[in-house]
Amino acid sequence: MALKGKPNSFDIAYRAGVSQATVSRALRNSPLVNADTRRRVQAIAKELHYTVDKNASSLRTQSSGTLALLFFEDPSPDDSHINPFYMSMLGAITRACAERGYDLLISFQQLSDDWHADYRDSNKADGIILLGYGDYLTYRSKLEKLVEQGTYFVRWGAVQPDQPGVSIGCDNYQGGRLVTEHLLAQGRRRIAFLGNASPQYPEFFERYRGYQDALRAAGCKALPKLQADALSAQPAGHAALTELLARKLPFDAVFAASDLIAIGAMQALAERGINVPTAVAVAGFDDIPLAAFVNPSLTTALQDSNRAGALLVESLLRLVHGESVASAMFPAQLVVRRSSVG
């Protein structure tokens, strides 16, 4: 394509096969653009004798004073389709934004939507916080797209060595081991696990690995037939427990990968007259508000939503200000209630 007049960043974007936003960041040596893309963009700019228009650049880099929080569709016990755990984090995120003088734009998204909007360059927001995602293999490609276009973002979720972008999360392996060790200390030896035990669901998978290693250390076996898949929803927990009973393999405890799964499982046990915790001890993960009010109250692993919300905002603002930010993980805390003791 022959150029007419002075080349601009859109000309470079066309030749490089990237967005104009990515060109802008690559020319600023932003770490949010991968090294190969930066080199390609800078080589094309040099070839075209491109120079930055400093007045236009100044306008583009103005801050909106707003951060965006994107919730993703998740099974829930009501019509919100938002996991109650994320709702508990919302207050901490809002408070942390206010303390730093930022407004918070909240948007509800479906994973099927084209949500790769460049909030920063459209001046909607300086960066994005992502909560909830479902199947990680589907979600990952969307994160890679955000990295490619140079969007500042942080997400709540599993921390993995090869992940795109920055994640803040709980130590799910440690939490899974902590809950299982508690059930073992109650004298339970045939402990079932309810939750998807696959890398496609990395948070649940890490909890499952912690469960396996705790059983192994205690000289017990993690039997494949004592694991049943379930997403984080009460009906899924009910269905998984029903499937477990149909296998006619005895168990004396259930570790559910989320509180919603655990509550659904307890409903299924109650319908069959199986006492919790006398016959079957039950524990969950997350410590959602409902966990303290079900009957019996639910033993669980607490993920500190206040600390998480503050750290998500702090990490995102450091990215926005051009600082280096690493992913971070903090430990789960065991909260013992009546569902596992007795």
Is the model's pTM score more than 0.75?
A: yes
Same domain flag for 243 and 151: no
Q: How many CB atoms lie within 10 A of CB 63?
A: 12
- Find out whether 262 and 300 touch, Cβ atoms under 8 Å: yes
Average pLDDT over residues 44-56: 71
Q: Measure the CA–CA gap between 338 and 340, rounded to whole angstroms.
A: 6
Same domain flag for 201 and 230: yes
Domain of 109, CATH number, reads: 3.40.50.2300
pLDDT tens column, 258-317: 999 999 999 999 999 999 999 999 999 999 999 999 999 999 999 998 999 999 999 999
How many structural domains does the chain have? Answer: 3
Q: What pLDDT, on a 0 to 100 scale, did the predictor assign at position 88?
A: 80
pLDDT tens column, 226-265: 999 998 889 999 999 999 999 999 999 999 999 999 999 9
Reported as half-sphere exposure (CB side, CA atoms, 13 A), residue 144 has a value of 8
- Find out whether 129 and 68 touch, Cβ atoms under 8 Å: yes
Tokens 């997400």 correspond to what residue?
155
Average pLDDT over residues 43-60: 66
Indicate the residue type of 170.
C
Domain of 30, CATH number, reads: 1.10.260.40
Same domain flag for 77 and 191: no
Tokens 């479902």 correspond to what residue?
134
Same domain flag for 234 and 289: yes
Closest CA to 8 of 28, 30, 23: 23
In which element (H, E) is residue 35 found? helix 35-47
Q: What are the tokens at 226?
A: 């004592």
Q: What pLDDT, on a 0 to 100 scale, did the predictor assign at position 51?
A: 72
Closest CA to 124 of 6, 21, 53, 213: 21
Using pLDDT thresholds of 50, 70 and 90, give the confidence band for residue 22: confident
Same domain flag for 183 and 288: yes
Q: Is the pLDDT of residue 188 over 90?
A: yes
Q: What pLDDT, on a 0 to 100 scale, did the predictor assign at position 54?
A: 45
Domain residue limits at 32: 9-60
Q: Provide the CA 15 distance to its chain's centre, in angstroms.
A: 35
Give the three-class secondary structure for 235: helix
